[in-house]
Structure 1
Amino acid sequence: MARKRSLSMIRNTLLNYTGQAYAIVIGILIQPFYLGHLGAEAYGLIGFFAVLQTWLLLLDVGLSPALVRQVAHGRGMQGEAYSQASLLRSFELILLPLTLLSSLAVYAGSGWIAGHWLNVQTLSPQLVAQCVSLMGLLVALRLYGTLYRSALQGLELHGWINGINVFITTLRYFGGLFLVAEVSQDPLVFFEFQVAVSLLETLLLGGKAYLWMDVRLLTRFCWDTLRPVLPFALGMFFTSGLWIVLTQLDKVLLSSLLPLRDYGYFSLVALVSGGILSLVNPLAQGLLPRMTMLVAEGRHADMQQLYLNANRFVCVLMFPMVAVIAAHGHDLILAWSGDAEAARWCRPVLVWYVLGAGLMAVGSFQFYLQYAHGQLRMHVWYSVVSALVSIPLVIASAYLFGVVGVALCWFGLRLVAFLIWPAIVHRSFGDDLHAPWLRDTLQIAALSVAGLLLSEPFYALLARSGGRLSLLLALATCGLITLFLVGVGSAPALLRLFKPSHKPSV
C-alpha cells in the first residue's frame, strides 16, 4: 500500500507539473502578443484584473483549502462518517451571497475605478468602466471554479483536473490571441470572451465534482457537517487575507501611482515573478493531500521525509531559473516581447521581484507542515507580524521611491523572513528537520550560482548579435548548463524522491 501511494504521489506530481507547465508556457508565450495587439495601456487592464482577482478571491473565506483538506482527511480516516455531498453544497451556499455582492460592488464602483483610481490616458473612461464591471463577474465564476477544483484535488483526480486545465488554457489563450489579432482589439470584447471561457470551466469542474461526490439537486445545507471544518476554514481565510496584503499591496499601490501604460510594463514583471511562484503549485496540489493523509495515519516520519524530498525537487527545478532571469532580465523581456522600451523599464525592477519570488516559493513549505497537521496558530501569528512590519514599509517605499523602491523593499522583506521563520517552524515539528532542509536549500542555491558563472562565456558569445532569436538561444543555453550542474550535484538527493517507502500503512 505504501509503495502504491508513493508511486501515486509521483504520478500526481508529474501530472500537475505537466498541466501547470503547459499553462505557464502558453501564458508566457501569448502575453507579448496581447501587449502588441492591445497596446500597453489596454494590457495594463489585464494586469489590473489579475490584482483585483487576487484580492476578491478572499471571498472564498478559506473554503477551498479547507475542502481539500477535509476530503483528503476523510479518505485517510476511513471510519469517519461525513457526507462529501452535503459539505460541498454547504460551501456552495455560503459562497453564493458573497459572489453576488462582490459582483454588484465591482459593477457599482467601476466608474470610480476608471475615473479616479487608474491613470487612464488614451482609453475612454467609459470603456475602462465597462471592462472593470466584467471583472467582477469573472471573479465570481472563478471562485466557484476554484471550489470545485479543490474538491477534485482532495479526491486526487489530478489527471482529470489537468486535462481540463490544458483544454481551458488552450481556449483562453489561443482563443484570446485569435480574437485580438483577427477580430477586434477592443478590450471589452476580450473580457467578454474571458467571461464565456470561465463559465465553461466552472460548469465542467462543477459537473465532475457533483458526479464524484454524489451531489444532487435536493442536497441541502448541513450545519453538522460544516461545523467541524469552520475553524480551519476561518484560520485559512484570515491568514490568506494577510498573505494577499503581503504579496499584493505593492501591486495595488502601483496601479494607482503609475500611468496605466507603465503599469502594463509592470504587469510583465508580475507575470514573470508570479510564474516563479506558480512552480510550487503543482507539487502542492499533490503534496498537501498526501501529507495530510500521512499525518492522519500517524506516519509522521514518512511525512517529514516526503516534505524534505519535495523541497529538494522544487529547489532543483526553480533555483537555476531564478538565477538566469535575475542575471539576464533585460534580455529576457526584450527577447520575449520584442519591446525595447518594456525591457528598459523592467530591468531595474525584475531582478528583485524574481529573487524575492524564489525565496517566497521555498518559504511556502513551512506552511505545508502546519497545514498537514491542521495547526495554523503559528502561521496566523507570522502573518500578523509580517503584515504589521510590511504594510508601512511598502507604502513608504511606493510614495517615496517609486517602483524600484518597492521592488527593493519587497525583496528585503522576503530575505528577512527566509532567514528567520523556517528555523522556528521546523523546530516546532521536529528537531531533525531544519538542518537537512537548510543544507539542501543552500547547496542547490550555490550550485545554481556556480552554473550561472560557468555559462556566462557561452551566453556572451551567443547573445553578441542582440537579435531576439540569438538572445533566446543564449538564455536557453545558460539555463540548461545551470540546470545540468544543479541536477548532477543534487542527483543523490533527487533519487530519494523516487524511492517509495515500504513501511506498511496503519
Structure 2
Amino acid sequence: MTAAGDSLVRGLAANYLGKAFTAFLSLVTLPILYRQLGGEAFGVFGLFFSVQVLLGVFDFGVGAAMQRDLAALQAGAPTPRAADVVATVRSIERMLWGIVVLACALAAAGNEWIAGHWLHVQALPLDLVARALFWMAVAASLQFIGNFYTGCLNGLRRHRQTNALQSAVWALRFVLLLWCVQAGVAPAGTMEGAVVTVLQAWAASNALHVLAARVMLMRSLPAAAGEPGVAHLRQAARFGLPLVAATTLIMLFNQVDKLAASRLLALDSLGRYTIVWSIAEVMYLMYQPVYTSFLPIFASRQAAARASGDAAGLWQSIALAWRVMSIAVLPVAVVIFAMPGLVILAWTGDGQLAESGGGVLRWIIAGAAVNSFLFIPFALQQAAGDLRPWTWRIALALVFYAPLAILAIHRWGMLGAAAAWCAGSVVLAIWLARASGQSVPDAPAGSGFLDALLPGSLRTLLPCAAVAVLGAWLPWPAGRVGAAVLALAVLAVCGFVALRSQPQLWTWCMQMLARLRGGRALTP
C-alpha cells in the first residue's frame, strides 16, 4: 500500500470540511441560476439532477463492491488478493467508460424527442432545450465515472485527497457558472439561453474532476504482485448484482416524484419544485460524510466479527455512527421543518416562493431526515455483502408508491409530490432498517436494531425541536439578510444543544479543541 489511509477522526473531519465547502458553493450557485435563468430554464436542472442519480445505477454495483474490497485491503485483510482487486478495478473502469460513450450517443439521438414530447416547454425554443439536454447528458455521464474513481479512493480511506479535489473542482465550477450567468452568454441576448453554456461549464469541470481522480487512484492502488484471476471479478459481480438491484429500485423510488413532475407539471413548476428540493439536499452534506467515513470501518469490523465471533467492536461502531448522525442531521432538519418559509426566503430572496413553497419543503425535509439515518443500515448491508433483504422490499414498496405519487401530483401538484414522497420514504426506511437488523449480530442486552439506537436520537431530537419551535415564534424579518441571520442563529443554538445531548461526543469535541489550543487532552 502506498500510504496509510485516514483515521476515522481525520476522515470525518475531511469529509465534513470538504462537503461543507462544496455545499456552501452549491447553496450560493443554485439560487443565482434560478434567478438569472428563470423558472423554466432552471426546470432543465430538475431533470439533470435526476439523470445524475439514475446513471449511478449503471455501474451494476461493482463500483460499490470495489469500494468494499479496497477497504478490506486497507484494513490488512488476508482476502481478497491485491492483484485480483487491481485487475478488477481496471476491468470495471473500461466497462464504465463504454457506458459513458453510450449515454452520450443516446442523448444525441433522443434529445429532440424528449424536448418536444416529454417536457412541457412553454416559452423556451425547443432547439435550445434539446441542446441543453445533450450537454446535461455529457455532464451527468462524466459525474458518473468520476463517482467511481472517488468511491475507490474513499475505499482506500483517502478522504482528505478526494475532498480537496472535489472542493477545487466546485470552486472552478462556481467561477465558471457565475461568469456564464453574469456575462449573459446567450443567443440573441436572452438570459434563458445561457442554460446551455452553464451545462457546458458543468461538463468541463466534471471532466477535470475525472482526470484528476483517475490519476490519484492509479497512484494509490496497492502493489499488485502475482497473476490476477477472473474469480474475483465474478465474485464482485455476485455482490454487485443484488446491490445494483437494490440501488436501482431505491433510486427509482426517490426519483419517481421528480420524473412524474417533469411529465405532469409545466417546466416552470418543475423549476420551482427543484429549487425547493435543492434546499433539502443540505441533508446530503450532513449524512454523506458519516456514511463515507463509517463504511470502511463497518467492512473491517464485519470481517473481524466473522473471524472471531465477537461483534462488540461492530456494535460500538454502529452506536457511534448513529450518535454522530443524530447531531449532524437533527438540528438542521428541525430548523428547516419549523421555519421553512424563512429558510426559502433566506436562500432565494423570493418572497412569493417562500410563501408557496413552505409546505412543500416541510414534507421534503421530514422525509430527508429519516432517510439520512437509513444510510447506516445501508452501509451495514454493503459491508455484509448481501443486499437481497432490501431488494424485494424496495420493489414491493415501489409498486404501491409510484401510482400514489402520480395521483398526488395530479391532485395537488408540487405539494402532493412532496407529501407522497415523504410518506412513502418514511415507511420504507423503517421497514428496511428493521430488515438490516436481522443481518447484524444481536444488539446489546438482546434488544432490536432500532430499539437499541432510537433512544439516543430522541435524546437529541426533543431539545432541538423545542429550540426550533421557540425560534419559529420569534418575529420574522422581512429582508433576506435578516431571515438568514435568524435562521443561522436558531441553527447554532440547536447545534450546541444537540452536541450537549451526546456526552461522549461532547467530551470528544472538547478534547479535540484542547489539542488544537495546544493544551493537554485525554485520548479519545
Partner of 2:479: 467
Shift of 1:484: 2.1
Partner of 1:503: none
Structure 1: 5+ residue stretches without partners: 501-506
Q: Which string of whole-angstrom CA distances, capped at 9 and with x for unpartnered residues, describes residues 362-382 of structure 1?
A: 122221221222122212232
CA distance in 2 between counterparts of 1:484 and 1:241 reads: 38
Q: Which string of whole-angstrom CA distances, capped at 9 and with x for unpartnered residues, describes residues 150-182 of structure 1?
A: 111111111111110110010112321122112
Counterpart code for 1:96: W
Shift of 1:418: 4.5
Question: Does structure 1 conserve the Cα–Cα contact (< 8 Å) formed by 2:287 and 2:328?
Answer: no
Question: Does structure 2 conserve the Cα–Cα contact (< 8 Å) formed by 1:89 and 1:220?
Answer: no
Counterpart code for 2:7: S
Per the alignment, do residues 308 and 78 of structure 1 end up closer, same or farther by CA in structure 2, a change over 3 Å counting?
A: closer
Question: Does structure 2 conserve the Cα–Cα contact (< 8 Å) formed by 1:77 and 1:296?
Answer: no
Partner of 1:199: 207
Per the alignment, do residues 122 and 157 of structure 1 end up closer, same or farther by CA in structure 2, a change over 3 Å counting?
A: same
Shift of 1:103: 1.5
Question: Does structure 2 conserve the Cα–Cα contact (< 8 Å) formed by 1:93 and 1:221?
Answer: no
Counterpart code for 2:456: D
Question: Does structure 2 conserve the Cα–Cα contact (< 8 Å) formed by 1:90 and 1:221?
Answer: no
Q: Which string of whole-angstrom CA distances, capped at 9 and with x for unpartnered residues, describes residues 341-364 of structure 1?
A: 322331221100011100111122
Shift of 1:197: 1.1
Partner of 1:66: 65
Partner of 1:316: 327
Counterpart code for 1:402: G
User: SS state of the match for residue 332, structure 1?
Assistant: helix
Partner of 1:504: none
Per the alignment, do residues 159 and 306 of structure 1 end up closer, same or farther by CA in structure 2, a change over 3 Å counting?
A: same
User: SS state of the match for residue 281, structure 2?
Assistant: helix
Q: What TM-score do you get using the length of structure 1 for normalisation?
A: 0.91
The aligned runs of 1:209-358 (5 Å cut-off) are 209-213=217-221, 223-298=230-305, 300-358=311-369
Partner of 1:112: 113
Report the more deviating stretch, 345-354 or 489-498: 489-498
Per the alignment, do residues 419 and 49 of structure 1 end up closer, same or farther by CA in structure 2, a change over 3 Å counting?
A: closer
Question: Does structure 1 conserve the Cα–Cα contact (< 8 Å) formed by 2:280 and 2:365?
Answer: yes
Q: Which string of whole-angstrom CA distances, capped at 9 and with x for unpartnered residues, describes residues 254-311 of structure 1?
A: 0122211121111112211222134211121111011101222236311211111111
CA distance in 1 between counterparts of 2:49 and 2:382 reads: 26
CA distance in 2 between counterparts of 1:373 and 1:345 reads: 44
Partner of 1:372: 383
Q: What TM-score do you get using the length of structure 2 for normalisation?
A: 0.88
Partner of 1:443: 459
CA distance in 2 between counterparts of 1:173 and 1:221 reads: 42
The aligned runs of 1:147-226 (5 Å cut-off) are 147-182=148-183, 184=185, 185=191, 186-213=194-221, 223-226=230-233
Question: Does structure 1 conserve the Cα–Cα contact (< 8 Å) formed by 2:71 and 2:296?
Answer: yes
The aligned runs of 1:347-496 (5 Å cut-off) are 347-429=358-440, 430-432=442-444, 433-457=449-473, 459-460=474-475, 463=476, 465-492=477-504, 494-495=506-507
Shift of 1:443: 2.1
Per the alignment, do residues 442 and 417 of structure 1 end up closer, same or farther by CA in structure 2, a change over 3 Å counting?
A: farther
Report the more deviating stretch, 404-413 or 295-304: 295-304
Shift of 1:435: 2.7
Question: Does structure 1 conserve the Cα–Cα contact (< 8 Å) formed by 2:315 and 2:443?
Answer: no
Question: Does structure 1 conserve the Cα–Cα contact (< 8 Å) formed by 2:499 and 2:505?
Answer: no
Question: Does structure 2 conserve the Cα–Cα contact (< 8 Å) formed by 1:313 and 1:494?
Answer: no
Shift of 1:411: 1.6
Shift of 1:209: 1.0
CA distance in 2 between counterparts of 1:63 and 1:211 reads: 21
Question: Does structure 1 conserve the Cα–Cα contact (< 8 Å) formed by 2:367 and 2:425?
Answer: yes
Counterpart code for 2:493: I
Counterpart code for 2:341: H
Counterpart code for 1:32: P
Structure 2: 5+ residue stretches without partners: 186-190, 513-524
Shift of 1:49: 0.7
Per the alignment, do residues 334 and 498 of structure 1 end up closer, same or farther by CA in structure 2, a change over 3 Å counting?
A: closer
Report the more deviating stretch, 404-413 or 105-114: 404-413
Q: How many residues align?
A: 490
Q: Which string of whole-angstrom CA distances, capped at 9 and with x for unpartnered residues, describes residues 40-66 of structure 1?
A: 211111222111221222212112211
Question: Does structure 2 conserve the Cα–Cα contact (< 8 Å) formed by 1:90 and 1:220?
Answer: no
User: SS state of the match for residue 280, structure 1?
Assistant: helix
Task: Indicate whether 1:54 and 2:53 are aligned.
Answer: yes
Question: Does structure 2 conserve the Cα–Cα contact (< 8 Å) formed by 1:89 and 1:221?
Answer: no
CA distance in 2 between counterparts of 1:249 and 1:27 reads: 23
Question: Does structure 2 conserve the Cα–Cα contact (< 8 Å) formed by 1:330 and 1:344?
Answer: yes
Shift of 1:389: 2.5
Per the alignment, do residues 346 and 222 of structure 1 end up closer, same or farther by CA in structure 2, a change over 3 Å counting?
A: farther
CA distance in 1 between counterparts of 2:244 and 2:265 reads: 30
Partner of 2:23: 24
| Identity between Structure 1 and Structure 2 (%) | 24
Counterpart code for 2:246: T
